[in-house]
Amino acid sequence: MSGIARRDFLLGATALAGAAATNSFTCVEIASAAPIEVPTVDKLSIQVLVDSSYDLFFRPKKINGVAIAPAARSADFRKSLHNEWGLSLWLESQGGGNQRTLMLDYGYTPEVLLNNMALIGVDPGKLDALVVSHGHYDHFGGLSGFLDKFRDKLPAEVKLYAGGEDNFCHRVNPTPTQGQFSDFGTLDRRQLAAQKVTTVLCETPTVIAGHAFTTGKITRRSSERVLPNTLVEFGIKDGLGCSVGHYLPAEMDGKIVADEHIHEHATCFNVKDLGLVVISSCGHVGIVNSVKQAQEVSGIQKVHAIVGGFHLGPAPKDYLTQVVGEIKALNPDVVVPMHCSGLNFVQEANAQMPDRVVVTTTGSRLTFGL
């Protein structure tokens, strides 16, 4: 990290410490700015708890060393997995004789998340840590209900790893009436503090539970751009919102502007003899940017899998073709689109990389490192 970047980070840490001291919010940690030593795991599995589709006829398959299998059908025919716009992933890794379990994002509603967790049969008591990718409701909407139900099963000092202060900003959607906005929610760290969940702001790369690592703030280095989505309101009131003084000029306080997802981060694993598995829950900042950031902070160039939401559903054809070409140039063994990636992405990726695309369904389980 450069001297200027480290200075800015320490100034931000000071601002957050001041906010905590005045009871604006509590239970916050700042991830270390020191370089990380990337761990290696022997095996990784990703179970899709929530996504937007469910295929009853999904069949097991294996592509380029990655296996995927559907969830077992419920013994009770009256119960079924539910789908909704959003994403939640259950991550289990093995390495060094240990197993670690993480939960990445929480879908749109607790009702769908809790229903699917029960039917799939995951055990919250095994969780070592929680991760949230960015501040969109379809990725944190189920979190509060999840904690209400399972907080007593989680470690007493459980931590939620967030990309940074921007994750806690208020989001709004533009409406057809000029100048009017509809609410899109705010990740409320006051609720997290009430549940005795410590939030770790991972604006720099961070190792989680000794097995995973995050990218930290993602550098915009490719031709990708943030496609239109939400607007973001900067500022904090009564502990709700984001502290502008931490990472933006003071004059941005109170402004509502186009959302650039300043602190969206990706969650990554280095699988032994295979390379990086990069999980981008939405990829607003660019999936190619996200992968290149993972390569830079880890020092590992080989990309085994690119997984998750790539936010290319709204992409125009020429831009989509270009981005898929850049993904292909990264030479991943597999590409696993979910959530907001879009059917158009699946079609274009199949055209350019016909032997590398793995399509998932709600409840399916991916295994890396067999």
Q: Which residue has the higher pLDDT, 81 or 181?
A: 81
Domain boundaries, the chain: 3-368
CATH number of 3-368: 3.60.15.10
Distance (Å, whole) CA 126 – CA 117 = 13
Q: Over the chain, what is the mean pLDDT? A: 91
| Mean pLDDT, residues 278-283 | 96
Q: What's the pLDDT tens digit per position in 96-130? A: 999 999 999 999 999 999 999 999 999 999 999 99
- Cβ atoms of 89 and 117 closer than 8 Å: no
Residue 7 pLDDT > 60, yes or no?
Answer: no
The tokens 């030479």 sit on which residue? Answer: 331
Query: Could you tell me which residues come within 8 angstroms of residue 19 by beta carbon, excluding any fewer than 6 positions away?
Result: 25, 236, 243, 246
- Radius of gyration of the chain, Cα coordinates, nearest whole angstrom: 20
**Predicted pLDDT of residue 179:** 64
Percent of the chain with pLDDT strictly greater than 90: 84
The residues facing 257 across adjacent strands are 232
**Predicted pLDDT of residue 20:** 42
Identify residue 310 by its one-letter amino acid code. F
| Mean pLDDT, residues 169-185 | 84
**Predicted pLDDT of residue 176:** 65
Residue 162 pLDDT > 80, yes or no?
Answer: yes
Q: Is the pTM of this model over 0.85?
A: yes
